[in-house]
Structure 1
């Protein structure tokens, strides 16, 4: 038993921007419930500094939560050269849609491109399955 077991996992507030991806879309057409679709969809792309703040490695699972919902996804390095600390990217999918705020601010259009979540390590937890979402 070490002292570290009593410390809470670091939480980082992130602004999420969603985007479309042709490879993920192709996997969805092949099988909405397929392994390829999940691997390409249940992912958050982070700045290396955010990965470090969360005390995780690329490929680890993260819990993302806000007032709209909660999901477990895989963390990946965004690969962008320009720093974007505090901003993360998720492909438009059932996993990101769980987190989109219901309140459209009177516009009728949900905020797919600009919403916040709290992210923390899921310590090896399994990615939220699509059957749990839909």
Structure 2
């Protein structure tokens, strides 16, 4: 064993804001269980500084974990020009819903716009398959 095998992978905490995506909507209409829908839905867009801190490149997989669930998705670099370190974006999808709290505060509406998670590299792991 080499020394690097004892080092813990970097992890960061981020807040996820979910959004709707017209291209994802088109993909789900064409094939809800298809590759294009998964490729447009099982992603997280991170600030370039966050990607660097995680030692992750665009297209690598990352683990998102909180007290409600754990998933593996692909990391992408956010296209926003303004830095938003610690804030990430995900399309509304079955993957992001795994991380949503079941607590609604009496409103009956889950909090899809502010999801706190820990992100770590998932090098070599595949995107989480959904048991649909």
Query: Matched residues in 2 for 1:55 and 1:2: separation?
Result: 19
How many pairs does the alignment contain?
A: 132
Query: Matched residues in 2 for 1:113 and 1:35: separation?
Result: 25
Q: Render the CA deviation track for 1:71-111: whole Å, top value 9, x for unaligned.
A: 10000001110000000000000000000111112222111
Query: Matched residues in 2 for 1:114 and 1:59: separation?
Result: 24
Structure 2 counterparts to residues 1-134 of structure 1, below 5 A: 1-131=1-131, 134=132
Query: Matched residues in 2 for 1:108 and 1:13: separation?
Result: 27
TM-score, scaled to structure 2? 0.96
Contact persistence 1:33–1:130 (CA under 8 A)? no
RMSD: 0.9
Consecutive unaligned residues of structure 2, counting only runs of 5 or more, are none
Consecutive unaligned residues of structure 1, counting only runs of 5 or more, are none
> 4+ residue stretches of structure 1 with deviation over 4 A?
none
SS in 2 for 1:130: coil
